[in-house]
Structure 1
């Protein structure tokens, strides 16, 4: 059992009564301090808010832990006492439908014999009404649960009208920039103020999903290492002879390049320093792996899939002793010709460029009312921003009611597509209220209406969802230009996934701010999802299907850093300038049990950029200027 010192090391200094409660939980569940701390982190994420360690919250945490423990014990008990499968038996005559799908819903499908009726009667006293029946029907069947049905396992949510601190600004970037008066006087809508361009190869995203070829996936992994080696060589002016195979005997210090991997096989266990290995490419080391010795480093931060370059030795051939880490290559910053910046100034003559940013889920787990989305659209219609970024999931496959088909179907307007009709009823009806703003939709792999189930992901279908023409459909991930501003966005929760898999030791040169460090992994790798492999469902609560052979589509186009990087995450909403990029996590508009957050951004025209460079009215196009959006943008994280 862990000591009080172990608890203090994980949780910090705590009052004696709180420490005593934590020690009781260690004894009760026979776990150590680290596992208890992981449970506490999971509880905080589930609640969707910052929670202090006091007696009130510890009591609620204990209740939640006890409930989870009981669920696990019941599941184990069912598995242990499950009867052995019997041989296939012939169906009795007059036994109703072949697969019992109709389950007595019509008079024409009676159950056979009194024993079946008795069994059904006995089950009715404690089973969820119609749960078995709805699970046997196709998703979204017109036959749904009756009145008073409550989805099993749903967490009681806080009513939207009672949500805490609506409208409160949680964080601000560049507060000295004044907020504009919205709607902008003299503005006639986004058409005259925005020039929209997608910076992607959209047809490539229409690949056949989840049809992977192992050799093509391995080629992508190899290419990432070799491309990184070339970039590091150019960055640090390293001779060719200095690069060596990390898996061979290396008595002298050399440069090695490879991918960080882990040998932790149990998804319930966290990756640690002892589990890290370096995997070479086939060209550099025949794809072999070697264990890492990081004891000589004062500080480090790694994650599985990270491409790294070390100065290291390997005297015995079975352990790579890392002496230092070579800094990653610096990629291009976005820039523009002066004449293009002048054109943008003219377009924004009425005032700043204004953008709303929000991410799904858009409703709590106990309903499909989408009250948060309605409130957000009310604000958009009232303020008339130029653009609105909305990322999925919209109709979430992980939502309890969507899983069970627990929602009504309008049979009078039934198109034959149940979930698409639900999208039109709940989402399209709201988006069609927005007429003076450009809406940019990014799907999620958890979107029930997306035909593309893997990442990278193709766009939503416009026609079947009934979306109007001011709605631009983006791939996931995507890079788009609004005038001269380059936006990058992905709905994959890479920040949360990296946070779960990261291995770090604080020391010299290691960024202490978690969000800054995680976002920098994405920017320095020039890739929207540098983690490999993706975490399992047991670690984050859902599956992230990665189509490895197409992951090149998730890289930054031409390795150019965007001006604004939008990375929605389960982590608390925040905004930071990371490596010169305005990086925004708007948070989720709805958590499992309460309303969440969104982001508002206002960006000044590039007038000062041109003035500081003393640009003449008709400049040549022989040079470009850095756009420096991090100095011109005010970003607020707001509660809905």
Structure 2
């Protein structure tokens, strides 16, 4: 039997409190008339409020009367169609007992200019349609005045259409990020200390030998040797401060050999340097007062582009590419308006390649942390992805979904394997979707694209010390290329499995495009003839964020690759 206190409790759960006695009595009448439980009535209210009131958290008898009128209309429509409503409908079959117009709330306004300037035929993939009881639209009621505007440009964008000139599908091939391609889950959580030391030492030896050959350096000496004359050493930069904050007084270097000691560095003779914890460097230095005094630092491994041609057909126009990174919903809701706006943009512009970097079900999002999702995280993610990609399922756009260790439904480890998709779910997904690991290296018709969803730029920032402060973001990005690793920082700020990092976390070739999503300011930069792109986040707090779009023209033989690209950062 329906009771007033139970009704009040259910409305409290959906954010409606302090109901008057008259309102509660009216609720009892509605439950009797429409054969609803207390929970079903509250869910009915959520749907009505979202559809007609723009989410209103106040409830009185007048508003209930409006809701009843709409419910009567739905019931009369059902009678006219000679559809008989079964009695004693089980609680689990909610959709059959609630008028169809209120099962899936519809948004009253378009999310942004990008979404509103095109048709609105996209499927409603809001998780509210799966779990109405947790529907909570973002507190940002209206679209930002800057939605759809260009926030940053790279290259000359005059005449750019940002639309594909043909419907040919690009081919995508995964390349090794070390000794192979990470394609499945692996065991982690146990890594013996001797294995950690061996992996770090091997990396020092590997990069050290490349630095020695590139710069024509003599054989390296052991760290503990006291040398008055200048000698060459190789090792890994570290920090000996208690707070692990790298300063000019706390920089140390450790070699790879068992006999190598940890030696402090005196940087006063270096005019130009940029050092961070975990960086492998070769130095020319001499000893003074139990410290090494370097006069020259070598830290940049010379990566090469793969020796293979770009096979994309440029005769009908440039290659169009869109890159976005999660989170894809606002911090105060699970309605995914930014993701829907992006899908409308993609549906209209039809790029050849769409890169979606996780997280999708962000483990640090408030509703996810509060565990208010009715389904499992895995089911929530798959429903979201299937509905989100449905509008572009029949297009020529190739979709790359990059995993993230921040996803609640995924392994919290780096390198992160591709999302696990069941055979049944694969049937519901479009055939133009490719799931890849974090990090990954892709060959897109000869254009090499390196991607990581882990915020390496933000992680390196506090652990770096540099002699100059110009173009800090470009300098942080350059460390990834110079160290030939998607995550060269050690000790890490992410949950890293070093053995998997050694196998699947490296950068063996120079990519044409390097995607490094970060909370730091968005940018598109030419870094050592690679185009580095930080699209930032598609959702930033309760506001919409940004995404990147690129047009890649046929590269000229005598010019660096970024000269053939024009790009923009666009606000969602």
- State TM-score, norm by structure 2: 0.72
Provide the aligned length of Structure 1 versus Structure 2.
435
Q: Deviations over 1:273-325 (max 9, x none)?
A: 21211111126xx2420111111222322110011111111144x21112222
1:354 has 2:286 as partner: no
1:281 has 2:256 as partner: yes
1:518 has 2:476 as partner: yes
RMSD: 2.5
Q: Say if 1:367 and 1:246 are closer, same or farther in 2 by CA, change over 3 A.
A: same
1:161 aligns to what SS in structure 2? coil
Q: Deviations over 1:248-293 (max 9, x none)?
A: 21111101111111123336xx33221211111126xx24201111
Contact kept? 2:280, 2:299, Cα under 8 Å = no
2:173 aligns to what SS in structure 1? strand
2:539 aligns to what SS in structure 1? coil
Distance 1:183 1:332 in 2: 29
Distance 1:585 1:465 in 2: 31
Distance 2:197 2:425 in 1: 37
Q: 1:425 aligns with which of 380, 383, 394?
A: 383
**Match runs of 1:177-576 below 5 Å:** 178-180=159-161, 182=163, 184=165, 187=166, 189-191=167-169, 194-200=170-176, 201-202=180-181, 206-240=185-219, 243-266=220-243, 270-282=245-257, 286-316=259-289, 318-326=290-298, 328-337=300-309, 341=310, 343-344=311-312, 347-409=313-375, 418-435=376-393, 436=395, 437-450=397-410, 452-463=411-422, 466=426, 467-506=429-468, 512-535=470-493, 544-557=494-507, 559-576=508-525
Give the match for residue 19 of structure 1: none
Distance 2:566 2:475 in 1: 22
Q: Say if 1:580 and 1:568 are closer, same or farther in 2 by CA, change over 3 A.
A: same
Distance 1:282 1:147 in 2: 57
Q: Say if 1:632 and 1:203 are closer, same or farther in 2 by CA, change over 3 A.
A: closer
- State TM-score, norm by structure 1: 0.64
Give the match for residue 594 of structure 1: 543
Contact kept? 1:177, 1:633, Cα under 8 Å = no
Q: Say if 1:577 and 1:249 are closer, same or farther in 2 by CA, change over 3 A.
A: same
Q: Say if 1:351 and 1:145 are closer, same or farther in 2 by CA, change over 3 A.
A: closer
Distance 1:555 1:147 in 2: 38
Contact kept? 1:205, 1:553, Cα under 8 Å = no
Give the match for residue 585 of structure 1: 534
**Match runs of 1:137-176 below 5 Å:** 159=140, 161-176=142-157
Contact kept? 2:163, 2:320, Cα under 8 Å = no
2:418 aligns to what SS in structure 1? coil
2:401 aligns to what SS in structure 1? strand
**Higher deviation after alignment, 562-571 or 296-305:** 296-305
Distance 2:279 2:550 in 1: 31
Contact kept? 1:423, 1:465, Cα under 8 Å = no
Question: Following TM superposition, by how much is the alpha carbon of 1:487 offset from its aligned partner in structure 2, in angstroms?
Answer: 0.2
Distance 2:141 2:383 in 1: 20
Q: Say if 1:485 and 1:160 are closer, same or farther in 2 by CA, change over 3 A.
A: farther
Q: Say if 1:574 and 1:158 are closer, same or farther in 2 by CA, change over 3 A.
A: farther
Give the match for residue 604 of structure 1: 553
Q: Gapped runs of 5+ residues in structure 2?
A: 1-126
**Match runs of 1:121-136 below 5 Å:** none
Q: Say if 1:160 and 1:502 are closer, same or farther in 2 by CA, change over 3 A.
A: farther
Question: Following TM superposition, by how much is the alpha carbon of 1:159 offset from its aligned partner in structure 2, in angstroms?
Answer: 1.3
2:473 aligns to what SS in structure 1? helix
Contact kept? 1:445, 1:453, Cα under 8 Å = yes
Contact kept? 2:164, 2:319, Cα under 8 Å = no
Q: Gapped runs of 5+ residues in structure 1?
A: 1-139, 151-155, 410-417, 536-543, 613-625
Question: Following TM superposition, by how much is the alpha carbon of 1:556 offset from its aligned partner in structure 2, in angstroms?
Answer: 4.1
Distance 2:542 2:260 in 1: 46
Give the match for residue 108 of structure 1: none
Q: Say if 1:632 and 1:434 are closer, same or farther in 2 by CA, change over 3 A.
A: same
1:388 aligns to what SS in structure 2? strand
Contact kept? 2:325, 2:537, Cα under 8 Å = yes
1:314 aligns to what SS in structure 2? strand
Distance 2:299 2:341 in 1: 45
Contact kept? 2:353, 2:400, Cα under 8 Å = yes
1:230 aligns to what SS in structure 2? helix
Q: Say if 1:211 and 1:433 are closer, same or farther in 2 by CA, change over 3 A.
A: farther
